[in-house]
Amino acid sequence: MSSSQRSMESVKEVVSALRGKTSFGEKMKFYDTWAQNYEQDLVVLGYNMPSLAAKSVSSCFRGDREAAVVLDVACGTGLVAEKMKQDGFRHFVGVDGNKAMLEEARRKELYQDLKHCFLGDEPLPVPEGSCDVVVVCGALSMDNVGVQVLRRLWVACRPGGLVCMTCRHSPETHDYRASLEEELRTMEDQGLWTRETVTQVERWFRAQETRGEEGGDQGGSVYLYRKL
């Protein structure tokens, strides 16, 4: 079945199957098979977090957008870079742990460089303080990238630059989000960065119900911080 023929329910089953993968290796194999249909499936779901992340960065960015180096962490097929290009950004470095997703991103010819890196297990493969904007959209969760990656994002960003992060709200991510926000506050208290904006999003996917089966919030947050 081609992606254009998928029903909403079949795409939801794909997402559910991904969340059911418990090991890193299982997830990478899943993305190997999903990469070609990934974007079409997200269109079916109405996934708009890349647009919201790009909008958040655009609203607070200071400087020359064409010259700015944007590090797109967990870049996938390049959805964030596509949206940021519409806002005038031109220089993108993409990092992802899945080679099939990187290959899909490469076809778009948006990135000056694409790097294979297992987030959380390896340092980000860029020089310290080399990026004007660092974005991670959709990967911050208990079953993907741990909270410890926040300091690596900070290291990659130049002083005065922006770090943009998204996190889904749901019953199963409650503890992770609490840890994430605690680390965000700790780093702010340590004088590492300052909060620019935190945007609450009612629905992570436009197609989903606002509240889940357990009554938990199914929205998300877009966090934007400026490195000091």
What domains are there in the chain, each with its CATH number?
47-227 (3.40.50.150)
Enclosing H/E stretch for 104: helix 99-106
Q: Provide the pLDDT for residue 150.
A: 96
Supply angle C-alpha 207, 211, 149, rounded to 5: 85
Distance CA 24, CA 27 (A): 5
Could you tell me which residues come within 8 angstroms of residue 31 by beta carbon, excluding any fewer than 6 positions away?
38, 98, 100, 101
What pTM was computed for the model? 0.90
Q: What does the pLDDT look like over 104-144, one tens digit per residue?
A: 999 999 999 999 998 876 789 999 999 999 999 999 987 77
pLDDT tens by residue, 152-202: 999 999 999 999 999 998 888 889 999 999 999 999 999 999 999 999 998
In whole angstroms, what is the distance from residue 122 CA to residue 104 CA? Answer: 22
> CB of 139 within 8 A of CB of 73?
yes
